[in-house]
Amino acid sequence: MHYRPTILNIASFLLIVVDNYTYWTSYFKGERYEYGFVALVISVLTGLFGLLIDLVLQKKVKNFWVINGIGLLLVTLFVLVFLV
């Protein structure tokens, strides 16, 4: 199977990288948050779940534009629900 990067794949990867960078730079600066590590674990699990959904979509749906449309819809819903 030819695996190509999609919107959902890139968004999940960025979520994992940015949250890890933010948490660990704050940690090494001496800033401690009560639930910081728990939030980091939850965001990493969310990113991994997004990558898993992307993998399943690429195996089931052959049209690349449909996969990107579904991924864009999921990323938009995630932003609207959790970040706004």
Amino acid type, 83: L
Q: Is residue 56 part of a domain?
A: yes
Q: Is residue 1 a part of any domain in this protein? A: no
CA proximity to 71, closest of 1, 2, 4: 4
pTM: 0.76
Q: Flag whether 2 is in a domain.
A: no
> Does the pLDDT of residue 1 top 70, yes or no?
no
Range of the domain at 20: 7-79
Q: What is the pLDDT of residues 11-39, one digit of tens each?
A: 888 888 988 888 888 888 888 777 778 88
Three-state SS string across the chain, please?
A: CCCCCCHHHHHHHHHHHHHHHHHHHHHHCCCCCCCHHHHHHHHHHHHHHHHHHHHHHHHHCCCHHHHHHHHHHHHHHHHHHHHC
- Whether residue 57 lies inside any domain: the answer is yes
Residue 37 resides in a domain:
yes
In a domain, 84, yes or no: no
Count: domains in the chain = 1
